[in-house]
Amino acid sequence: MVQIALSDEDNLGIAFTYSEPGIAYEYMYEISKRALNTRLKTVMVTNGYINKAPLLRLLPYIDAFNVDLKAFSENFYHKMTRARLEPVKNSIRIIAQSESHLELTNWSFPG
């Protein structure tokens, strides 16, 4: 993947996105490690639902994260996603304290 990305001189990098890239963690980790000492940048677009240890292992190799923060209250988060908000907030805190760039995307739901 890195060689393919490098073959186009106008390509800026590799984005791990769609259908939560964390489900292919090992693939993403290996690709981002191989891209580290190239001109390529790496970005992960994620729901932020990742355990601390794998996130910390990945951080040195991902240049930017875009976390989809789907709600601000635990009840609403669970109602809309059937997941918990606190693990996402923990991931956001960890990324924010790292050298990686962090962007947050917030969904808008009709009343």
pLDDT in tens, 66-81: 999 888 888 988 888 8
Q: Round to whole Å and give the CA distance between 48 and 100.
A: 14
- DSSP-derived letter for residue 45 is E
Fold assignment, 2-106: TIM Barrel (3.20.20)
Using CA atoms in the order 27, 17, 42, 96, what is the torsion angle rounded to 10 degrees? Answer: -110
pLDDT band at 111 (very low <50, low <70, confident <90, very high): low
pTM for this prediction: 0.90
What's the mean per-residue pLDDT of the chain?
Answer: 93
Instruction: Work out the percent of the chain whose per-residue pLDDT is above 90.
Output: 76
pLDDT in tens, 13-55: 999 998 888 889 999 999 999 999 999 999 999 999 999 999 9
pLDDT higher at 20 or 59: 59
Nearest C-alpha neighbor of 38 from the set 56, 14, 57, 22: 14
* Cα first-last separation, the chain: 43
The predicted structure's pLDDT at residue 77: 83
The tokens for 107 are 């969904």
pLDDT at 110 over 70: no
Cβ(62)–Cβ(43) under 8 Å? Answer: yes
Cβ(12)–Cβ(41) under 8 Å? Answer: yes
The predicted structure's pLDDT at residue 39: 97
Domain boundaries, the chain: 2-106
Q: What share of the chain is helix, strand, coil (3-state, %, to 5)?
A: 45, 20, 35
One-letter amino acid of 19: S
